[in-house]
Amino acid sequence: MSIFSIITTAVATTAGATTHVILRYPLSATVNAIAVLVGSLLGMSIGRFLKEDIRNAIFIANGLATFSIGMGMSLKTGNAVIMVMAIVSGVIVGELLKLDDWVNAAAQRFQTRLHVASGSRWAEGLVTAALIYCVGPMTIIGSIQEGMTGNGTLIYTKSILDLVISISLAAALGSGVAFSAIPVFIIQGSLTLLGSVLGFLMQPYILNELTAAGGLMVVAIGLNLLGIKKIKLANLLPGLVFAVLYAMLFHALKLV
Protein backbone atom coordinates (compact mmCIF):
# COMPACT_ATOMS: atom_id res chain seq x y z
CA MET A 1 0.00 0.00 0.00
CA SER A 2 1.41 3.38 -1.00
CA ILE A 3 1.94 6.03 1.66
CA PHE A 4 -0.28 8.22 -0.52
CA SER A 5 -3.37 6.03 -0.13
CA ILE A 6 -5.85 5.42 2.68
CA ILE A 7 -8.50 2.70 2.76
CA THR A 8 -11.85 3.30 4.41
CA THR A 9 -14.78 0.92 4.65
CA ALA A 10 -18.13 2.02 3.28
CA VAL A 11 -21.62 0.82 4.27
CA ALA A 12 -22.24 -2.86 3.57
CA THR A 13 -24.23 -3.60 0.43
CA THR A 14 -27.57 -5.42 0.39
CA ALA A 15 -25.77 -8.59 -0.64
CA GLY A 16 -23.79 -8.50 2.58
CA ALA A 17 -20.50 -7.61 0.91
CA THR A 18 -18.33 -4.78 2.12
CA THR A 19 -17.30 -2.04 -0.27
CA HIS A 20 -13.85 -0.52 0.17
CA VAL A 21 -13.33 3.06 -0.90
CA ILE A 22 -9.70 3.88 -1.63
CA LEU A 23 -8.64 7.46 -1.11
CA ARG A 24 -5.32 8.33 -2.70
CA TYR A 25 -3.37 11.53 -2.45
CA PRO A 26 -3.62 13.14 -5.92
CA LEU A 27 0.09 13.09 -6.68
CA SER A 28 -0.42 13.42 -10.44
CA ALA A 29 -2.69 16.45 -9.95
CA THR A 30 0.08 18.05 -7.90
CA VAL A 31 2.60 17.39 -10.67
CA ASN A 32 0.19 18.75 -13.28
CA ALA A 33 -0.43 21.94 -11.29
CA ILE A 34 3.33 22.48 -10.90
CA ALA A 35 3.81 21.91 -14.65
CA VAL A 36 1.18 24.56 -15.43
CA LEU A 37 2.85 26.98 -13.02
CA VAL A 38 6.34 26.40 -14.41
CA GLY A 39 5.16 26.68 -18.01
CA SER A 40 3.26 29.87 -17.20
CA LEU A 41 6.28 31.46 -15.55
CA LEU A 42 8.38 30.63 -18.61
CA GLY A 43 5.72 32.04 -20.91
CA MET A 44 5.40 35.24 -18.89
CA SER A 45 9.18 35.70 -19.00
CA ILE A 46 9.22 35.22 -22.75
CA GLY A 47 6.14 37.40 -23.25
CA ARG A 48 7.86 40.44 -21.74
CA PHE A 49 10.25 40.51 -24.69
CA LEU A 50 7.63 40.01 -27.40
CA LYS A 51 6.03 42.81 -29.37
CA GLU A 52 2.26 43.19 -29.27
CA ASP A 53 1.77 41.87 -32.81
CA ILE A 54 3.75 38.72 -31.98
CA ARG A 55 1.69 38.14 -28.83
CA ASN A 56 -1.47 38.55 -30.91
CA ALA A 57 -0.13 36.03 -33.43
CA ILE A 58 0.50 33.54 -30.60
CA PHE A 59 -3.01 34.23 -29.33
CA ILE A 60 -4.50 33.37 -32.76
CA ALA A 61 -2.31 30.26 -33.05
CA ASN A 62 -3.61 29.08 -29.68
CA GLY A 63 -7.16 29.67 -30.88
CA LEU A 64 -6.66 27.65 -34.05
CA ALA A 65 -5.02 24.76 -32.19
CA THR A 66 -7.72 24.76 -29.51
CA PHE A 67 -10.50 24.81 -32.11
CA SER A 68 -8.90 21.88 -33.96
CA ILE A 69 -8.52 19.82 -30.77
CA GLY A 70 -12.13 20.49 -29.81
CA MET A 71 -13.43 19.40 -33.21
CA GLY A 72 -11.54 16.13 -32.92
CA MET A 73 -12.96 15.50 -29.46
CA SER A 74 -16.53 16.25 -30.55
CA LEU A 75 -16.35 13.51 -33.20
CA LYS A 76 -16.02 10.88 -30.45
CA THR A 77 -19.78 10.91 -29.86
CA GLY A 78 -21.63 7.66 -30.46
CA ASN A 79 -24.86 9.55 -31.11
CA ALA A 80 -24.83 13.22 -32.07
CA VAL A 81 -28.30 13.65 -30.56
CA ILE A 82 -26.82 13.04 -27.09
CA MET A 83 -24.15 15.67 -27.64
CA VAL A 84 -26.65 18.26 -28.86
CA MET A 85 -29.13 17.53 -26.08
CA ALA A 86 -26.39 17.68 -23.46
CA ILE A 87 -25.03 21.04 -24.61
CA VAL A 88 -28.49 22.59 -25.04
CA SER A 89 -29.69 21.34 -21.64
CA GLY A 90 -26.43 22.40 -20.03
CA VAL A 91 -26.43 25.91 -21.41
CA ILE A 92 -30.05 26.44 -20.32
CA VAL A 93 -29.12 25.49 -16.76
CA GLY A 94 -25.94 27.54 -16.97
CA GLU A 95 -27.83 30.62 -18.14
CA LEU A 96 -30.48 30.22 -15.44
CA LEU A 97 -27.79 29.88 -12.76
CA LYS A 98 -25.64 32.59 -14.40
CA LEU A 99 -22.57 30.40 -13.93
CA ASP A 100 -20.37 32.42 -16.26
CA ASP A 101 -21.17 35.65 -14.42
CA TRP A 102 -20.38 33.95 -11.11
CA VAL A 103 -17.09 32.47 -12.33
CA ASN A 104 -15.89 35.70 -13.91
CA ALA A 105 -16.94 37.77 -10.89
CA ALA A 106 -14.95 35.42 -8.64
CA ALA A 107 -11.95 35.71 -10.97
CA GLN A 108 -12.26 39.50 -10.99
CA ARG A 109 -12.38 39.62 -7.17
CA PHE A 110 -9.29 37.42 -7.04
CA GLN A 111 -7.63 39.74 -9.56
CA THR A 112 -8.46 42.79 -7.45
CA ARG A 113 -7.05 41.23 -4.29
CA LEU A 114 -3.83 40.49 -6.14
CA HIS A 115 -3.72 44.15 -7.27
CA VAL A 116 -3.54 43.20 -10.93
CA ALA A 117 -4.43 45.98 -13.37
CA SER A 118 -8.13 45.80 -14.24
CA GLY A 119 -7.44 46.42 -17.92
CA SER A 120 -5.39 43.24 -18.30
CA ARG A 121 -6.63 39.87 -19.60
CA TRP A 122 -5.82 38.23 -16.25
CA ALA A 123 -9.31 36.84 -15.54
CA GLU A 124 -9.69 35.66 -19.14
CA GLY A 125 -6.36 33.86 -18.89
CA LEU A 126 -7.37 32.12 -15.66
CA VAL A 127 -10.77 30.92 -16.87
CA THR A 128 -9.64 30.00 -20.39
CA ALA A 129 -6.59 28.04 -19.24
CA ALA A 130 -8.49 26.21 -16.49
CA LEU A 131 -11.13 25.03 -18.95
CA ILE A 132 -8.55 23.93 -21.53
CA TYR A 133 -6.65 21.91 -18.94
CA CYS A 134 -9.67 20.37 -17.21
CA VAL A 135 -12.23 19.67 -19.96
CA GLY A 136 -10.95 16.63 -21.76
CA PRO A 137 -10.70 12.84 -21.68
CA MET A 138 -7.15 12.75 -20.33
CA THR A 139 -8.26 14.65 -17.22
CA ILE A 140 -11.18 12.31 -16.56
CA ILE A 141 -9.52 9.02 -17.46
CA GLY A 142 -6.14 9.81 -15.92
CA SER A 143 -7.46 11.18 -12.63
CA ILE A 144 -9.98 8.39 -12.08
CA GLN A 145 -7.43 5.78 -13.12
CA GLU A 146 -5.01 7.02 -10.48
CA GLY A 147 -7.79 6.98 -7.90
CA MET A 148 -8.68 3.39 -8.78
CA THR A 149 -5.23 1.87 -9.34
CA GLY A 150 -2.64 4.39 -8.19
CA ASN A 151 -1.31 4.70 -11.74
CA GLY A 152 -1.01 8.39 -12.66
CA THR A 153 0.96 7.88 -15.90
CA LEU A 154 -1.68 9.47 -18.13
CA ILE A 155 -1.79 12.67 -16.07
CA TYR A 156 2.01 12.82 -16.01
CA THR A 157 1.91 12.73 -19.82
CA LYS A 158 -0.80 15.39 -19.80
CA SER A 159 1.40 17.50 -17.51
CA ILE A 160 4.07 17.71 -20.22
CA LEU A 161 1.47 18.82 -22.77
CA ASP A 162 0.00 21.38 -20.35
CA LEU A 163 3.48 22.76 -19.62
CA VAL A 164 3.99 23.46 -23.33
CA ILE A 165 0.50 24.96 -23.72
CA SER A 166 1.06 27.12 -20.64
CA ILE A 167 4.13 28.71 -22.17
CA SER A 168 2.25 29.99 -25.23
CA LEU A 169 -0.93 30.90 -23.30
CA ALA A 170 0.94 32.83 -20.61
CA ALA A 171 3.02 34.63 -23.24
CA ALA A 172 -0.26 35.93 -24.71
CA LEU A 173 -2.55 36.24 -21.65
CA GLY A 174 -0.19 36.79 -18.74
CA SER A 175 -0.18 35.68 -15.11
CA GLY A 176 -3.83 34.57 -14.98
CA VAL A 177 -2.71 31.38 -16.72
CA ALA A 178 -0.36 30.59 -13.83
CA PHE A 179 -3.21 30.79 -11.31
CA SER A 180 -5.17 28.22 -13.32
CA ALA A 181 -2.91 25.72 -11.55
CA ILE A 182 -5.25 26.07 -8.55
CA PRO A 183 -8.46 24.81 -10.23
CA VAL A 184 -6.38 22.19 -12.07
CA PHE A 185 -5.27 20.75 -8.74
CA ILE A 186 -8.72 21.01 -7.17
CA ILE A 187 -10.63 19.42 -10.07
CA GLN A 188 -8.16 16.67 -10.93
CA GLY A 189 -7.43 16.02 -7.27
CA SER A 190 -11.14 15.62 -6.53
CA LEU A 191 -11.54 13.14 -9.40
CA THR A 192 -8.60 11.13 -8.05
CA LEU A 193 -9.94 11.11 -4.50
CA LEU A 194 -13.33 9.95 -5.78
CA GLY A 195 -11.84 7.62 -8.37
CA SER A 196 -12.98 4.42 -6.70
CA VAL A 197 -16.62 5.54 -6.87
CA LEU A 198 -16.47 7.24 -10.27
CA GLY A 199 -15.24 4.21 -12.19
CA PHE A 200 -18.55 3.98 -14.06
CA LEU A 201 -17.53 7.08 -16.04
CA MET A 202 -14.87 4.94 -17.72
CA GLN A 203 -17.57 3.00 -19.61
CA PRO A 204 -16.94 3.75 -23.33
CA TYR A 205 -20.53 4.83 -24.03
CA ILE A 206 -20.33 7.40 -21.21
CA LEU A 207 -16.74 8.50 -21.77
CA ASN A 208 -17.33 9.09 -25.49
CA GLU A 209 -20.22 11.45 -24.78
CA LEU A 210 -18.29 13.24 -22.05
CA THR A 211 -15.43 13.69 -24.50
CA ALA A 212 -17.75 14.94 -27.25
CA ALA A 213 -19.54 17.44 -25.00
CA GLY A 214 -16.19 18.60 -23.65
CA GLY A 215 -14.98 18.90 -27.22
CA LEU A 216 -17.72 21.38 -28.08
CA MET A 217 -16.68 23.41 -25.04
CA VAL A 218 -13.09 23.39 -26.29
CA VAL A 219 -14.36 24.54 -29.70
CA ALA A 220 -16.11 27.42 -27.90
CA ILE A 221 -12.81 28.32 -26.23
CA GLY A 222 -11.16 28.37 -29.65
CA LEU A 223 -13.85 30.68 -31.02
CA ASN A 224 -13.32 33.02 -28.09
CA LEU A 225 -9.56 33.05 -28.56
CA LEU A 226 -9.99 33.81 -32.27
CA GLY A 227 -12.42 36.62 -31.49
CA ILE A 228 -15.07 35.12 -33.78
CA LYS A 229 -17.79 34.98 -31.13
CA LYS A 230 -17.81 35.77 -27.42
CA ILE A 231 -19.24 32.69 -25.73
CA LYS A 232 -19.98 32.40 -22.01
CA LEU A 233 -17.86 29.33 -21.42
CA ALA A 234 -18.81 28.49 -17.85
CA ASN A 235 -22.50 28.35 -18.80
CA LEU A 236 -21.68 25.30 -20.92
CA LEU A 237 -20.24 23.26 -18.03
CA PRO A 238 -23.53 21.64 -16.86
CA GLY A 239 -23.54 19.98 -20.26
CA LEU A 240 -20.96 17.50 -18.93
CA VAL A 241 -23.44 16.28 -16.32
CA PHE A 242 -26.20 16.00 -18.91
CA ALA A 243 -23.84 14.10 -21.23
CA VAL A 244 -23.50 11.41 -18.56
CA LEU A 245 -27.24 11.29 -17.86
CA TYR A 246 -28.28 11.15 -21.51
CA ALA A 247 -25.60 8.55 -22.31
CA MET A 248 -26.94 6.31 -19.54
CA LEU A 249 -30.52 6.85 -20.74
CA PHE A 250 -29.72 6.13 -24.39
CA HIS A 251 -27.69 3.08 -23.37
CA ALA A 252 -30.61 1.76 -21.28
CA LEU A 253 -32.83 2.24 -24.34
CA LYS A 254 -30.19 0.45 -26.47
CA LEU A 255 -29.75 3.53 -28.68
CA VAL A 256 -25.95 3.59 -28.21
Question: What are phi and psi for residue 8, nearest 5 degrees?
Answer: -125, 155
Q: What is the DSSP letter of 195?
A: G
Distance of CA 78 to the CA centre of its chain: 21
3-class SS of residue 117? coil
CA torsion angle for 22, 186, 2, 34 (degrees, to 10)?
A: 160
The three-class DSSP label of residue 180 is coil
Residues in the chain with pLDDT values less than 50: 1-3, 7-15
Between CA 44 and CA 72 the distance in angstroms is: 29
Across the strands, what pairs with 22? 7
In this prediction, residue 20 carries a pLDDT of 62
pLDDT of residue 2: 46
Name the phi and psi angles at 12, rounded to 5.
-65, 145
Provide the pLDDT for residue 118. Answer: 61
pLDDT of residue 119: 60
Q: Model pTM?
A: 0.85
Residue-range domain boundaries for the chain? 26-252
CB 2 within 8 A of CB 150: yes
DSSP 27-83: HHHHHHHHHHHHHHHHHHHHHTTS-HHHHHHHHHHHHHHHHHHHHHHHTT-S-HHHH
